[in-house]
Amino acid sequence: MILSEINVYPIKSTKGIALQSALVERRGIQHDRRWMVVDDSGIFLSQRDYPRLALVSVAIRNSSLAASAPGMPSLDIPMKPSSKEAIKVQIHDDVTEGVSAGEEARKWFTDFLGVSCRVVYMPEEVLRPVNPKYGAEEDIVSFADAFPLLLISEATLDDLNSRLRIPVPMNRFRPNIVVKGCGAYDEDRWGKIRVGEMIFDVAKPCARCVTPTVDQATGVAGKEPLATLSKYRNAGGNVLFGQNIIPEKSGTLRMGDSFEILSWKEPVFPVGSMKH
């Protein structure tokens, strides 16, 4: 088993960036979801309601993010915003803080999405805790939905695609790391893993929203793959696909890193229950 993809998503719900190596911090891959678009009430905006966010590309420069989108001028967002004023923001049931990424970013995203909004940045001093049911007291997360990183295996996607009329690419699920060489849904049973020099706790299966139905190339939503997934990956009303993971400490991931399973756990779905 090896690490076959590393992806970072600097602005929540916009396009990812494929990496050859990545520094992993306590809250996730460096720069991952440190920026987020929010409405005037501070509630996060995502592809769930604004699938056009999938069309926003981001590049990481030395001192800024460079954003682009169809029909829009380029946008530079400072890596360290000048504003120090705390803004209360909400991600699902979590309330945390950010600072404004600037007036230019506010105007750009407001024009592109057609709704009044602004971009916020999570500074180092903001420590958003992971749900204590699944993590330790010191575990923190960025503006990601709930956990520092998301893992999926290539075999798991292959199994899903064998059930679909039109296969979907891995980017529908927006993973941070992808593993090659295991069996389909093997990651359901992993408790603790070593990837290269790093150790991760496999916290819980990822409950999927409607974002995987958004074509990441067109920004248009459909019904698949959730319609198919709901037939065999539904647990208590949640469609589960991929695993949320938490790093034990900071370190570096590199493409081709080997995977080692350090401990196992009982899966939500019994072994063999997903065969078709």
> Any idea what the CATH number is for the domain that residue 141 is in?
2.40.33.20
- Is 146 contained in some domain? yes
Q: Which domain holds residue 45?
A: 33-129
The 3-state secondary structure of 11-33 reads ECCCCCEECCEEEEECCEECCCC
pLDDT in tens, 4-40: 999 999 999 999 999 999 999 999 999 999 999 999 9
70 vs 239: CA distance, rounded Å: 32
Q: 129, 159, 194: which is the final residue of a domain? A: 129
Same domain, 81 and 200: no
List C-alpha distances in Å: 262 to 31, 195, 199.
28, 10, 9
Domains: count for the chain:
2
Same domain, 187 and 52: no
- Is 276 contained in some domain? no
Q: 129, 147, 164: which is the final residue of a domain? A: 129
- Is 273 contained in some domain? no
Contact yes or no for 156/233 (Cβ under 8 A): no
Same domain, 257 and 146: yes
Same domain, 238 and 180: yes
pLDDT in tens, 139-190: 999 999 999 999 999 999 999 999 999 999 999 999 999 999 999 999 999 9
pLDDT of residue 272: 62
pLDDT band at 41 (very low <50, low <70, confident <90, very high): very high
pLDDT band at 195 (very low <50, low <70, confident <90, very high): very high
Burial class (CB in 10 A: 0-12, 13-18, 19+), 26: middle
* In the predicted structure, residue 204 carries a pLDDT above the cut 70: yes
Give 271 or 125, the one with higher predicted confidence: 125
156 vs 182: CA distance, rounded Å: 9
- Is 177 contained in some domain? yes
pLDDT in tens, 60-98: 999 999 999 999 999 999 999 999 889 999 999 999 999
- Is 274 contained in some domain? no
Burial class (CB in 10 A: 0-12, 13-18, 19+), 248: middle
Q: 110, 129, 148: which is the final residue of a domain? A: 129
